[in-house]
Structure 1
């Protein structure tokens, strides 16, 4: 088994900070306006009917995230020109701006954790897509899942018309396993769901290749 070095700061990656969603007006407003009512997210990455979502749905969404094995908001740190201290503040004291969320959940429910088979979900608010944040956050979540979560397989599903997402998932190392044919109806057309996954030994090989370069 490859030896993978643990992250110096578990809840950070190169540009991003990952924190738990809170029952605060700010987090609820972000979820409500930038995630649940984002028409691109509704149409490209969820099976929900595209329509306005009320604010109560944000409460339920946060509870769902909090109940996952891993459910975090993806954030950017707020830089301050007035910060002259040489010490690095803790994640709890860093002011952040949420730009998305990523989660890992037991695919078949809470009583099936012994199968070590989980599903990954991720979304970004408008204005933060196409900047490399997706690959960075997915790689962070995969590292957490295999190093700390004890998982053996991480899977996801992507709509066949979401070509940008499929390109990203393949780039970070997910492999296509099959498809659910004509299982999504959008704009009067039927589309497939592409089933993709990464296994523990595939992740180890990817990280070993990175460390050797």
Structure 2
């Protein structure tokens, strides 16, 4: 069963809309820029998860405030990227904004689970390696109400100027400590959200946090 959610997204400038990137290639937030991308909560069946390498030794979690974990239906999402074609790492920022479906506070704490999808609505998963990495700015994010914001960054090496392979049509993201509903965001619909990777390439994923500075 697939729920469709179309909501206002907070536009996060990354990639081409950035005047610079944070340390390690992670984009910074600025006002404006980037095209609007539609995010959809997608019900997924339980199954084996992709193998990951956690640089911190274990998946971050826990909730010291007692607030509930954020669910896909709480959030509108956007993915904005900047790609390099000369062998340097490319980067993208996946940002989420609290919508008005549930005004009670919720928490994003730790690493999301990432899958690269062949299609934009529940397509088959591409075999892409996911490596969890630490970053300055990673922290538990409490979203109090409408408009609360958090993000995480992804880095990869672009597979040529035109990809040269079947590239993903969407990113599927499962929030830390959430249920079986994923957030699915289309990619490769324009230069500002391109994700030109091939099968067996690697994505490096940071935890949720505050990467606006």
The two structures have a TM-score, normalised by structure 1, of: 0.26
> TM-score w.r.t. structure 2 length?
0.26
Bigger Rg, structure 1 or 2: 1
